[in-house]
Structure 1
Amino acid sequence: MDIASRTALVTGGTSGLGLATVRALAAAGARVVVIDLPSSSAQETLAEFGAAVRFVAGDVTDPADVQQAIDEAVALGDFAIVVNCAGIGTPASLLDRQGQPFPLELFTTIIQVNLIGTFNVVRLAAKAIAEHTDSEAEDRAVIINTASIAAFDGQIGQAAYAASKGGVAAMTLPLARELARHRIRVVTIAPGVFRTPMLTGFPPDIVAALGAQVPHPSRLGEPGEFALLATQIMANPMLNGETIRLDGAIRMPPR
């Protein structure tokens, strides 16, 4: 796929992995629509891209918000790329130190954002692409979702997060099989420990210890490396129906 002149939708595109992906797409000549939660800094963050990037304030779990962003992408023409980066990762033990159970509402929220939010974007984007994007091209469109190595190596306290990301990984192949008739590929990236806002709030010694667990390169992944893989997936038409670990060969211990 030639990224230049195509239109992309990136969720969670104002920080971390999503922002790095927006930067890579804009540098490659794509038009980008970003949907992320409203914030005072969102427009300022995306200002460096000028007219190449448009921001839609919204929640990926809200069909109306997502449809608004997709309509914006369709209006820009040749809507062919979706990258789902929106997500949350609040840790909590199944039983806390007082013996109280994991709050069910927290589990529901994590599943709602990470899994249902991703599916909500995929279903609405697939409809728009099927209706509006050139159907003659072999590589008509690609949808890239974000799971996590927690889907496979979930640690203590990550039951909800692992379940949500495991769901994203599990639906990759059936989505790719179903959307094949529309020439839409579906691929998932499962990042390891990356330098994102989710980690930068941790004490520096904990962040350094996490990076040291990675066999090689022995450090945290950089958001630009996630974005690089995303653009490589876009470029390679035989990458389909696969979940790719991007983790420096780390296998997470129980805690």
Structure 2
Amino acid sequence: MKIEGSSAIVTGGGSGLGEATARLLAAHGAIVHVFDRNEKAAQQVAEDIGGVPLVGDVANEEDGKRAVDKAAKAGDGLRILVNCAGIAAAGRILGREGTLPLADFDRVIRINLVGTFNMMRLAAERMAAADEREDGARGVIVNTASVAAFEGQVGQVAYSASKGGIVSMALPAARELGRFGIRVNTVAPGIFLTPLLLALPKETQDSLGTAIPYPSRLGNPAEFAETVRFLIENQYVNGEVIRLDGALRMQPK
């Protein structure tokens, strides 16, 4: 899929991996719609890259529909969706204060998994209605999972479940949407320098980096964005889940 001139939505585009992706897509000529719950962050990033701020909840049907309707009016229609919105809440099934509250588990699943599916289904509907490009393509969707989908640590049961669901959606979604000329791929990042980790002391960041075989450092959001770019541009990659983790395999704790 050609990026230049394409209308794109990046959820969670106000910070972290989403912000890096929004900036890279804009640098390559996309019309980027920065969709984030944080209005100030969405506006700031959109202003910096010449994009369009969109404020809302990815798991809310009306917010999602409003976002894709807006993006579908730009360029030759909505062509790219990158789902980066999510939360990384922790909690043990049986902790010192009792069982993990069902509401806490439900919140993580709702934002990470249901939110990803909501945006994917709404964007796919718009993409399927768009004209075919010269190569027969109509759109591409890139979702964000995590290595926690494969090696969830103690306290990550909700997060791992949400990201595991995203991994499991990749192939059936790609198979189903392929007849419309829409590809679906997923990136499963390891430990990246997101705002949460940047707030930690440098010594702690370095310590986390030593657990990664090579390169022994935390991932740079720009590296995530470049992977997304590859998945958008390489027309033969479809239904894949790419680990982006420096060969890291998470330990139980």
Q: Which residue of 2 aligns with 1:252?
A: 250
1:165 corresponds to:
163
Matched-pair identity in % = 50
Residues 93-132 of structure 1: CA deviation (Å, up to 9, x unaligned): 112224x111110100000000000000000000011113
User: Residues 91 and 156 of structure 2 are in contact (CA less than 8 Å); yes or no, is this contact kept in structure 1?
Assistant: yes
- Which amino acid letter does the alignment assign opposite residue 46 of structure 1? A
Equivalent position of 1:217 in the other structure: 215
Which residue among 129, 142, 160 is the counterpart of 2:127? 129
Task: Supply the distance in 1 between the matched residues of 2:93 and 2:232 (Cα, whole angstroms).
Answer: 39
Query: C-alpha separation between the residues in 1 aligned to 2:89 and 2:201?
Result: 16
How many residues in Structure 1 have an aligned counterpart in Structure 2? 252
Q: Distance in 2 between matches of 1:49 and 1:159?
A: 37
SS in 2 for 1:142: strand
CA contact (8 A) 1:80 1:133 kept: no
Name the residue aligned to 2:149: 151
Match of 2:19 in 1: 19
Aligned residue for 1:93? 92
Q: Deviations over 1:192-236 (max 9, x none)?
A: 000002322334333222111111110000000000000011111
SS in 2 for 1:40: helix
Gaps (5+ residues) in structure 1?
none
Aligned counterpart, 1:46: 46
SS in 1 for 2:3: coil
Aligned letter for 2:167? A
Query: Structure 1 stretch 175-184 or stretch 135-144: which is displaced more?
Result: 135-144
Runs of 5+ unmatched residues, structure 2: none
Q: 2:42, 2:54 within 8 Å by CA — same for their partners in 1?
A: no
Match in the other structure for 1:36: 36
Structure 2 CA distance for aligned equivalents of residues 139 and 21 of structure 1: 21
Task: Give the C-alpha shift of residue 135 in structure 1.
Answer: 6.0
Kept in 2, the 8 Å contact 1:111–1:164? The answer is: yes
Whether contact under 8 Å (2:35, 2:56) holds in the other structure is yes
Alignment of 1:95-244 (within 5 A): 95-98=94-97, 100-134=98-132, 137-244=135-242
The normalised TM-score by structure 1 is 0.95
Question: Which residue is 2:79 aligned to?
Answer: 80
